[in-house]
Amino acid sequence: MDSQQDQSAPSAYLTLLERQLTADGCAVRWEDWAGVPVLVGRRAEFRMRWMATKLHLFTVAAAVPEITVPVVSGFTDQVMRYAKDTKGGLPVGLQNGIGAFPLLVSDRVDPAAVQWAEAQQRVKFACMTRPVVVDSSRQYVGMYRGKPVLGRVYASYFNEKGSRYFYGQ
């Protein structure tokens, strides 16, 4: 790959992700987060098997120069705050939950960042995040794909959406 292709791989991934989100019925838009273009996809679903809960799912993605554990951890916290602040409606926890896929893509990825993303789902009161790290140089996607104790009822939903949105692009 030449350097021009390397530089365009993260943005090409985001373009494909935008198509996947739109095809799945997400409301999609681009925002500016402190000078960084960020793709935001959002949908909400209600299911009786989720104990009659409505889950608001946010997918927030950005291309960055390099992904390290502090970078993905900080972005995950930022996405959770954003989701809580923009969800609207009833407060979180009153038959309302938030799920989020904070996704970073880069051609420079610390393997520890991939391991961090794959290790576990992060949970705070009625808010679940599954950070996603995309190494565009290796075409590798790292995210947690298990069934956690907290939020277990949503695990198959997160795994299905993660497969649909992030893999095989």
Tell me the per-residue pLDDT of 137-164, one tens digit each, with 9 for 90 and over.
Answer: 999 999 988 776 556 667 788 888 888 8
Length of the chain: 169
Q: What is the DSSP letter of 91?
A: P
In the prediction, which pLDDT does 91 show?
Answer: 53
Quickly count: other Cβ atoms within 10 Å of residue 109's Cβ: 25
The one-letter amino acid at 70: P
> What count of other Cβ atoms lies within 10 Å of the Cβ of residue 54?
16
Decide if 17 contacts 61 (C-beta within 8 A).
yes
Identify which has the larger pLDDT, 126 or 111: 111
How sure is the predictor about 169, in pLDDT bands with cuts at 50, 70 and 90? very low
Indicate whether 1 pLDDT > 50: no
Q: How far apart are CA 66 and CA 104, in angstroms?
A: 9
93 pLDDT more than 70: no
* pLDDT tens digits for range 20-75: 999 999 999 999 999 999 999 998 876 555 555 678 899 999 999 999 999 999 99
pLDDT score recorded for residue 123: 80
Environment class of 64 (CB within 10 Å of its CB; exposed 0-12, middle 13-18, buried 19+): middle
CA distance 26 to 29: 10
What is the per-residue pLDDT for 11? 92
User: d(Cα 169, Cα 166) in Å, to the nearest integer?
Assistant: 7
**High-pLDDT (> 90) share of the chain, %:** 57
What are the CA-CA distances from residue 106 to residues 42, 77, 103, 153 (Å)?
A: 22, 19, 10, 32
Buried b (16+ CB within 10 A) or exposed e, 72-107: bbebbebbbebbbeebeeeebeeebbbbbbbbbbbb
Lowest-pLDDT range, 25-39, 106-120, 125-139? 125-139
Whole-number Å distance between alpha carbons of 59 and 39: 8
